[in-house]
Amino acid sequence: MLISFSWLKELVTLPARVRAEDVAKRLSLSTVEVEGVRQQGADLENIVVGIIKKIEPHPNADRLRVTQVDTGGKNPLTIVCGGSNLRVGQKVAVACVGAHVRWHGEGELVELTHTTIRGVASEGMICASTEIGLGERFPLKDEKEILDISDCAARAGTPLTEAFGLGQSAVLEIDNKSLSNRPDLWGYTGIAREVSALFKAPLVLKTPPAIKTGKGIALRVSVQDTVACPRYMAVALKGVKAVPSPAWMQERLHASGVRSINAVVDVTNYVMLEIGQPMHAFDYDAIKDARGAVEIVVRPAKQREEFTTLDGHKHTLHDKMLLIANKTRAVALAGVMGGDLSAIADTTHTIILESANFNARSIRRTSNTLSLRTESSARFEKSLDPAQAEQGLRRAVELYKKIFPSVEIASIVADTYSKKAKSLVITLAEAVLQKKFGIRISLKEVRQIFERLGFGVSVRGKNLRVEVPSYRARDINVSEDLVEEVVRIHGYEHIKAALPKIHMLVPAHAPLHMLARALKMRMAYENKFHESVSYAFVRAGALTALGLKPENHLMLSHPLSEERPYVTTTLAANLLEAVEKNQHGNDRVALFEVAPVFLPEHLKQGVDDGAIGRLPYQPLHFGCVYSDKNETHSFAYVRDSLESAFGAAGYDLKFIKAQEGARWWRANTAVDIWCADKKVGYCTIVGRHTQGLFGISHEAVVAEIDLSLVAKTNFRVKSYHVPSPFPAVTRDVALVMNESVQYADVQETLTHAHALVKNVELFDSYHGEHVDAGKKSLAFHITYQSNERTLTADEADAAHKALIAKVVHRYKAQVR
């Protein structure tokens, strides 16, 4: 919203020293966000009125002319110009050297310099309206047309700002989003009220007189849905004409970012800007019936009813949308936009003026559904004050009378408002201000703040009795709201910061949180995985590739993209997609994620929904994926990473070969992961078919673990052994055995093969040409150590020999 500072100053008497910037700053700190202060006319510096004295052809270009232009100086300027409507004696806007213009109305502002065009020196530029930011005000009819300002009385050399009466007026740019809860601020009056309170400056508000009922046109209004339309006022005015409105009105509309159309329409817009009340004027001839009477019906649209708005767009409506109609047809989309057939035309002499109140939700729904946002709908969807409708109508009539002195009221003033809302009275205790804000402020000062904001106030001992004005009924409901009014006007900067005196709490035991955090640290900093954070939503294709049925998933009702409508039950889907995305630039893709999954079928475990039901169960999952082109033992890498990361977090995992698993797992490569007595997850190599479905080029290992389950098992306390003071002896052994023998079994056998075995460590695992087909070689470092004495070489050798004998016998192995 744009607020012209000069207009604002007519509504609130500010001391002369207060500048627009000061108002902007105070408003920003206490009321709404002011995005900037623009000096209107600043862009028009060095642009003056010129009179064309002479036009000659350009010697080197057919389409250009060489002109002599009087710009008030001693000699006329020579200016090369390609304008299509040049004529001698014409008044034009001349940009002199140093002015800023936008070439052909496009791109950035460029500073004008002396230049030579096709061999002829040019000392300035005759501008088109779009080149100097006046395109809105003077729309181009033809691309090559220059701005003709012959109507203007100013002499040659007059700065354009002066010629147009733009002065150097400042405009405050207010962020509309910051007004969402303050319908009263959608007009100059509301902003002026705030400024009055902030600067303790008097408000200059004039109440327009009541409208005297007239005769001539029978006007009737009926409202079929009083929820959607709490109030509808209308009156007929005879003797208006679609002529240009007076300069002062055009100027204010323009400064506020609204285009001037004609006096009839401009008044409605002017009232909307001033008071915040959207208005509409219908052409009487277009909506009257055969007998000259007007019967307005406010009714819901019929299903699939068609309506053409005055911008020429045809809309198909539904029955939740509200229309303004007469007996035969619809004439306006209520609160959003009028219809094309009843728009003000050159022939208009009499109007039906509408000032109504519409339900915010209904307007928002209509405007969203039709993607049709207007100044009117933007205001109505904030919940306007029904009382404002009457002020709007009165003010509009007052303005019409001013512009068209012979205008007549030609009907009754129709008003459907039945139930006047009772104003709310709230008691505010002085103590609350101190207790909740730690500020000391006198009741007198508090009282003044409320009075300036238009509240009714009376003091009752240590309490204030505050009556909320109707235009604040929307946002002021409880005493806390009143406190905010005082504090924000007083200024948040005056509240002294302090830390609370703390009540110590016993910390809640949060094993899941601690597990997740420890796990993340270990996975990243020890196992060299990168943490990924992804969407909770997945593609159908990713689910089916993992053997999951999309229909068993929760779905978004309005998916962000058609591509990812499902709420995920597994982290594997997004992780596998990430492998595909990363594999081209990275030989090693190692990612993990910790995030909840959403299981629709586990309602009993879900938390309460605040009503009678429960939400879907949302266990926290850990997932990781690993695909490394230079690694031959990816699976073992992942499994060991999980073992060490969970182990460090205090949970021992067991990996047990899966007897049956999902179809997308590579056969024989999957393990179930157990923690204590609970099966908590899996780890597998992705089956080759599924790998292809995800477009992954290299073998990938995936693991997924339910952390919510893991955290429910008992946290392990680490055990420790007394270190032996005696030196250890190491012997190596390489064993060749059938591939079907499991490493874990061999490891277990070796560890318990002899009392002196302290540690068993695999250092090589080999398949290939140096062992027979169907065989593998495992090589171990075996550490022998006693807690009582230094072992002799003989003792160690004897133990090693016994160990080898045992393992060779048990697994039919050969020593290599």
Chain mean position to CA 269: 29
Interface with another protein, residue 698, by CB under 8 A? no
- Given the complex with another protein, which of 145 and 484 has the nearer CB atom? 484
- Residue 338 CB, shortest distance to another protein, in Å, is 24
Radius of gyration for the alpha carbons in the chain, expressed in angstroms and rounded: 41
Beta-strand pair 294-300/306-308? unpaired
The single-letter DSSP state of residue 768 is S
From CA 703, how far away is CA 752, in angstroms rounded? Answer: 30
Interface with another protein, residue 437, by CB under 8 A? yes
- Given the complex with another protein, which of 554 and 728 has the nearer CB atom? 554
Element (H, E) at 117: strand 115-117
- Residue 372 CB, shortest distance to another protein, in Å, is 14
From CA 694, how far away is CA 746, in angstroms rounded? Answer: 36
- Residue 91 CB, shortest distance to another protein, in Å, is 38
Q: Which region, judged by CB under 8 A, interacts with another protein, from 302-310, 460-468, 580-588, 762-770?
A: 580-588
Please pick, from the candidates 520, 621, 666, 776, the single residue that binds another protein as defined by CB under 8 A: 520
- Given the complex with another protein, which of 71 and 377 has the nearer CB atom? 377
- Given the complex with another protein, which of 607 and 805 has the nearer CB atom? 607
Task: Dig out the tokens for 50 from the structure.
Answer: 């010129």
Q: Which region, judged by CB under 8 A, interacts with another protein, from 66-74, 239-247, 401-409, 528-536?
A: 528-536
Please pick, from the candidates 289, 306, 480, 761, the single residue that binds another protein as defined by CB under 8 A: 480
Interface with another protein, residue 497, by CB under 8 A? yes
From CA 745, how far away is CA 85, in angstroms rounded? Answer: 97
Residues 6+ apart with CB under 8 A from 812: 737, 738
Per-residue DSSP letters for 744-760?
A: HHHHHHHHTS-TTEEEE
- Given the complex with another protein, which of 57 and 695 has the nearer CB atom? 695
Element (H, E) at 23: helix 20-30
Cβ atoms of 233 and 413 closer than 8 Å: yes
Per-residue contact track with another protein, 362 to 401, x per CB under 8 A? --x---x------------x--------------------
Cβ atoms of 21 and 150 closer than 8 Å: no
From CA 664, how far away is CA 659, in angstroms rounded? Answer: 14
Please pick, from the candidates 176, 534, 724, 730, the single residue that binds another protein as defined by CB under 8 A: 534
- Burial of 780: CB neighbours in 10 Å, binned 0-12, 13-18, 19+: buried
Measured between its terminal Cα atoms, the distance across the chain in Å is: 86
List C-alpha distances in Å: 605 to 268, 507, 615, 751: 59, 24, 8, 42
Interface with another protein, residue 524, by CB under 8 A? yes
Per-residue contact track with another protein, 585 to 624, x per CB under 8 A? xx--xxx---xx-x-------xx-xxx-x-xx-x------
Please pick, from the candidates 290, 508, 722, 793, the single residue that binds another protein as defined by CB under 8 A: 508
Interface with another protein, residue 441, by CB under 8 A? no
- Residue 481 CB, shortest distance to another protein, in Å, is 6
- Given the complex with another protein, which of 116 and 630 has the nearer CB atom? 630
Q: Which residue has the tokens 């009582």?
A: 788
Interface with another protein, residue 549, by CB under 8 A? no
Beta-strand pair 775-784/757-766? antiparallel
Interface with another protein, residue 494, by CB under 8 A? no
Q: Which residues 753-792 are close enough to bind another protein by CB under 8 A?
A: none
- Given the complex with another protein, which of 16 and 478 has the nearer CB atom? 478
Q: Which residues 145-184 are close enough to bind another protein by CB under 8 A?
A: 178, 180-182
- Given the complex with another protein, which of 525 and 720 has the nearer CB atom? 525
From CA 780, how far away is CA 762, in angstroms rounded? Answer: 4
Interface with another protein, residue 809, by CB under 8 A? no
User: In 583-717, which ranges are continuous DSSP H helix?
Assistant: 634-649, 688-693, 707-710
Interface with another protein, residue 502, by CB under 8 A? yes
Interface with another protein, residue 532, by CB under 8 A? yes
Per-residue DSSP letters for 416-465?
A: ----PPPPPEEEEEHHHHHHHH-----HHHHHHHHHHTT-EEEEETTEEE
Interface with another protein, residue 475, by CB under 8 A? yes
- Residue 501 CB, shortest distance to another protein, in Å, is 8
Cβ atoms of 506 and 512 closer than 8 Å: no
Per-residue contact track with another protein, 33 to 62, x per CB under 8 A? x-----------------------------
Q: Which region, judged by CB under 8 A, interacts with another protein, from 25-33, 137-145, 654-662, 733-741?
A: 25-33
- Given the complex with another protein, which of 251 and 577 has the nearer CB atom? 577
Helix, strand, or coil here: 561?
coil
Per-residue contact track with another protein, 406 to 435, x per CB under 8 A? -----------------------------x
